[in-house]
Amino acid sequence: MEAVIKDALVLNPDFSFEKKDVVIEGKKIVGFDARDARGYEQINAKNKLLLPGLTNAHVHMAMGLARGIGENIPLVEMFEKVLFPLEDKLSDEQAYLGAMVLGMEYIKSGCTSVNNIGKTWSKPVLKALDKLGLKGTMALALKDVHLKSKERFKCEFLKENELLVKDLRKHPKLHGLFGLANEVEASQDLITDVRFLAKRYSTGIHVHVAENSMEKGYVMHKTGKTSVGYLDELDVLSHDTIAVHAVKVSPKDIDILSRSDALVVHCPTSNMALDDGIAPIGEMIEKGVRLGIGVDDPVATSNNNLLRELFSASLLQKSRGFSVSPAQVVHMAVGEKVVSSGSPADLVLFDLGSLGNDFLSQLVLGELPVSSVFVDGEPLLLNNVFTRFDGRKMFDSACVERDRLLDFL
């Protein structure tokens, strides 16, 4: 694609905004001088904010058709009576359509990449991600311990996860990781096997950690350590680790997470919906923990809008006495990505719908509407219309399969 995004208010690396023309050639930003870009497609971005595409750092895309049906049910009961039976019933077509409708919502909240983890369904979710055009990572939530009885069973999907990592080695947009359900449902043997394979394939690990009091108590009783301390001892935590939730953590745990440089993913809406508590993000920022943000599982919460997660993250920390700036919250979603010459053209345009002087505050607290999303220079959403497929038809197909799935319950 050859295009000029005209008159955009572009986010600078210091989180200020500056009006610029952004010139795109192929998959890259090539500069900010549009004078030589004759014949390029012109995209009017007047009164729009332009940011690097957001990363939805923890999602379960296969369960999109089950949105919200586990709300207001205690965690273990929700898993046993809702999530696990649904996982056993879910067909590949239902997983694909669920991933599609969630992916559409992610794009419409400014996401250009996602970190997906699921029990299985790697093929239908991969099909959906390719159709959507999103970047990101994929992993399976491996486990070999029953959540309630704590009895061991054979992990069925370790080989499938290994094949997924191999298959994605040459994928232009997606990267395979190894996944662990959490520190309770994965035995020490399985954790050790996953760590070995991740090192063998030079890839990372996606794992839920220290999400709730049940997990905290179980791991402490079994090992005498906190969840973070236990995983650190097993050499799981590193720069290549996606450590999700980290709600029940101590000051020492926060030091470990900082030292390991793991990406700690905050999921505030999910944590509230499941009554897990509030992750100490304020303290983590003070200690230099690398942070991301994600919407988590759609079964427990109906929110799939990453901007609403930014809103929740900001206000929850204020309720704890920590002042987390809009820039710090936005940094959780964009990471180290910047709008600069030579960078991938993974971009999102937000409409400024009202007057205001602090654009970042409007973005975080006002949930500004997204108008266009680009990945590698390709518009996935242009002026609020999906370009790769008919969004209405996709949604209608998903509704039919959703009704069939919910009849099962």
Residue 253 scores a pLDDT above 90: yes
The model's confidence at residue 356, banded by pLDDT at 50, 70 and 90, is low
Q: Is the pLDDT of residue 74 over 80?
A: no
At 281 the three-state DSSP class reads helix
DSSP states of 373-385: EEETTEEEEETTE
Res 71 pLDDT > 70: yes
Mean pLDDT of the chain: 94
Amino acid, res. 21: D
How many angstroms separate the CA atoms of 335 and 17, rounded? 17
From residue 379, how far is each of 23, 280, 345, 353, 375 by CA, in Å? 14, 37, 10, 22, 7
* 301 or 379: which leads in pLDDT: 379
Confidence at residue 354, expressed as pLDDT on a 0 to 100 scale: 67
**Under CATH, to which class is 2-52+339-386 assigned?**
mainly beta
Residue 52 has pLDDT above 70, yes or no: yes
Terminal C-alpha separation, the chain: 46
Integer Cα distance of 134 and 376 in angstroms: 10
The per-residue pLDDT for range 372-388, each reduced to its tens digit, is 999 999 999 999 999 99
Residue 409: per-residue pLDDT: 64
Res. 206 pLDDT band, cuts 50 70 90: very high
Query: Has residue 355 got a pLDDT over 70?
Result: no
> What is residue 342's three-state secondary structure?
coil
Residue 18 has pLDDT above 80, yes or no: yes
| 311: enclosing H helix or E strand | helix 306-319
Q: What percent of the chain has pLDDT over 70?
A: 99
The tens digit of pLDDT for each residue in 315-333 reads: 999 999 998 999 999 999 9
Q: Kindly state the helix (H) or strand (E) to which residue 108 belongs, with its residue range.
A: helix 92-108
Question: Max CA-CA distance within the chain?
Answer: 68
Q: Assign domain 54-334 to its CATH architecture.
A: Alpha-Beta Barrel (3.20)
What backbone phi and psi angles, to 5 degrees, belong to 221?
A: -65, -40
At 70, list the tokens.
């586990």
| Least confidently predicted of 19-33, 161-175, 346-360 | 346-360
Mean pLDDT for 83-92 is 84
More confident residue, 326 or 300: 326
Average pLDDT over residues 132-136: 98
Does 28 have pLDDT greater than 90?
Answer: yes
User: Could you give the percent of the chain with pLDDT greater than 90?
Assistant: 83
> Is there a contact between 161 and 139 (Cβ–Cβ < 8 Å)?
yes
375: left (phi over 0), alpha (psi -120 to 50) or beta: beta
pLDDT band at 353 (very low <50, low <70, confident <90, very high): confident
Characterize the bridge pairing of strands 205-209 and 178-180.
parallel
Section 58-71 average pLDDT: 90
Mean pLDDT computed over 49-71: 93
Asked if the model's pLDDT at residue 228 lies above 90, the reply is yes
Question: Which residue ranges make up each domain of the chain?
Answer: 2-52+339-386, 54-334
pLDDT at residue number 87:
80
